[in-house]
Amino acid sequence: MLFKYHPFLSCLRTLHPLLALVLLSCLSGVQAAEPLRFAPLPMESRESTVKAFYPLVVHLQKHLQQPVELVYYAKNSEIAAALESGELDFAYLGPLPYVTLRQRGAAVEPLVFFREANGQARYRCALVAFAGDAAQLASVRGKRIALTQPLSTCGYLGANAMLRHEVGISLKDMQYRYLGSHEAVALAVISGEAEIGSVKDEFAAKFAPLGLQTLVYSDWLPATGLFASQRRLDAATLKDLRRALLATPQKIYGQWGGSIRHGMSMASETDFDSLRAFGDPAEIPQGKKD
C-alpha cells in the first residue's frame, strides 16, 4: 500500500485564506522543484508512523530548500526495493535492510543513526512472552511465535539467532507468522494470539506495563538510521545533509516522533559487522510456517 503525504499543502487547509496565499507565494520556488522522496520504516500503524515522521520531513524540506514527499510502504522489503531502484531518495530503516541491500550491491549510503532513549546509537532484539503465562525460554519448542517482517532486523534472522544461541533451537522447528510491525507482535503476545514474540527492545519496554515479559536479549546492534540513494543524490548533497542532521539542535529533534527524538550520531560501514554475524539475509523465508 502506498500513501503519499504533502506536508505543507495539507497544512494550508487550516490557515486563513490570505495567510495561505502568502505562504504559497513564499513557497512557490520550492514547490516548483521535483520532490525528494522519503519513506519511513513501518514499526507502528500507518497513522502513528506518518505523525512521527512529519516533523522530520518538514526539517529536511526546510534545509534542502526542496519539497520532500513522505511515501508510506507497509513492508520493509518494499522500501528496500524502492531505495535500490532509485524510486526513493532516502529512507528510515533498520540495519538488516541496509545489510541486505549492500549484499546485493545497491548504491545506498548510511547517513546517520538515530539514538535510542538512553542516548546510545544501538539497540537489541528481545524475545518476549506474556508474564501471566510463566513462559520459560527452555520450553519454547513447539510454541507459536510472532515475527514482524522477513526483512525486519528483529524478525526471522534476529529471532532465529537468539533461539540458536540460547537454547539450540531453530525457527525451522517452530510455528511462526509475520504480523507486520513490532506493535502488532507485542499485542499478539499480550492477547494470546502468539505465545512468543520477537521485537525491538524499545517495544518490549513500551508494552511491559501490559504484561509483556522479556525472556532474552540479542547482542547489541547498530541503531535504526537514515539511508540515502547514491543514484538519486550526489556526494556533495549527501555530505551536506549528514552535516546538517548531526548539527540539528535538541529543541528541534526533540519534537520529532518517539523513535527519532533522541538525537543522531555518525554512521559507518563497520557498525554493521555485529549484525552480519546473525546469518545470511538471503536465507530468510518469506512466508509463515504454521
pLDDT digits (tens, 9 = 90+) for 216-233: 999 999 999 999 999 999
Paired with 71 in beta bridges are 4
What is the side-by-side order of every strand in the sheet holding 225-229? 3-5, 68-72, 36-40, 90-93, 225-229, 108-114, 264-266
Average pLDDT, the chain: 85
pLDDT digits (tens, 9 = 90+) for 109-162: 999 999 998 899 999 999 999 987 656 777 788 889 999 999 899 999 999 999
Residue 14: the pLDDT is 43
183 pLDDT higher than 90? yes
Going by DSSP bridges, is the β-strand pair 225-229/90-93 parallel, antiparallel, or unpaired? Answer: antiparallel
Q: Which domains does the chain have, with CATH numbers?
A: 3-120+222-276 (3.40.190.10), 125-218 (3.40.190.10)
Residue with the larger pLDDT of the pair 289 and 7: 289
pTM for the whole structure: 0.75
Read off the pLDDT band of 19 (50, 70, 90): very low
